[in-house]
């Protein structure tokens, strides 16, 4: 069977956990559709996040890539449509870098669109009673940086490998007792959502 690479991120911004890391780790080694799930966790550090993602791609030789990241404040799974060539960090990364008004890739295109069927993925999630929608803003932090950087690498080196990015909400343990209140979703629901996204990817590739 062919590999699909699923990545999450380490905790950042003072959080003790990152639901993207937890969800991705739970899916390591699963067989979904016609795909074997291989996973990795990326640092929340400019440049290094892309470098680690590329290392994982070269290690596992996947037929598709889905990067996953936490978006605190969102109320649903956001299947991202577009990555922009901008780094403008609202908070420092995990090594204290706070990049402002810089490109992800010098002289790169202004944006890349997802090469996976994000609309079908979002529709399939909603049909299975998981809150989701297509999003047109992946932000300007490490999530967008990875989405853009992976897209740039794939288009120039592995053009037949499609990719997308999925933002997920806080999980319940991050929301319990928080002031002000935080939107959240159970980790099990997030994991099920990612399984459905992989199912849709398998169908798209078949």
Q: Mind telling me the catalytic residues?
A: 80, 143, 167
Query: Cα–Cα–Cα angle for 154, 27, 65, nearest 5°?
Result: 10
- Terminal Cα distance for the chain, rounded: 12
Element (H, E) at 82: strand 82-84
The rounded distance, in Å, linking the Cα atoms of 157 and 200 is 24
Query: Among residues 17, 75, 64, which one has the least CA distance to residue 41?
Result: 17
Cβ neighbours of residue 127 closer than 8 Å, sequence gap 6 or more: none
């Amino acid at each position: 069977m062919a590999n699909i690479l699923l990545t999450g991120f380490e905790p950042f911004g003072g959080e003790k956990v990152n639901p993207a890391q937890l969800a991705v780790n739970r899916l390591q080694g699963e067989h979904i559709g016609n795909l074997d799930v291989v996973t990795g966790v990326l640092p929340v550090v400019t440049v290094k996040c892309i470098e680690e993602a590329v290392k994982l791609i070269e290690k596992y030789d996947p037929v598709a890539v889905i990067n996953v990241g936490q978006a605190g404040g969102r109320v649903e799974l956001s299947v991202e449509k577009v990555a922009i060539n901008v780094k403008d960090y609202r908070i420092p990364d995990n090594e204290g870098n706070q990049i402002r008004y810089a490109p992800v890739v010098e002289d790169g295109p202004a944006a890349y669109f997802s090469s996976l069927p994000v609309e079908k993925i979002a529709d399939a999630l909603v049909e299975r009673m998981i809150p989701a929608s297509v999003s047109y803003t992946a932000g300007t932090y490490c999530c967008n940086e990875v989405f853009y950087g992976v897209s740039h690498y794939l288009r120039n080196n592995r053009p037949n490998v499609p990719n997308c990015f999925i933002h997920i909400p806080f999980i319940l343990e991050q929301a319990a007792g928080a002031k002000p209140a935080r939107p959240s979703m159970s980790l099990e629901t997030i994991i099920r959502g990612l399984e459905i996204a992989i199912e849709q990817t398998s169908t798209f590739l078949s």
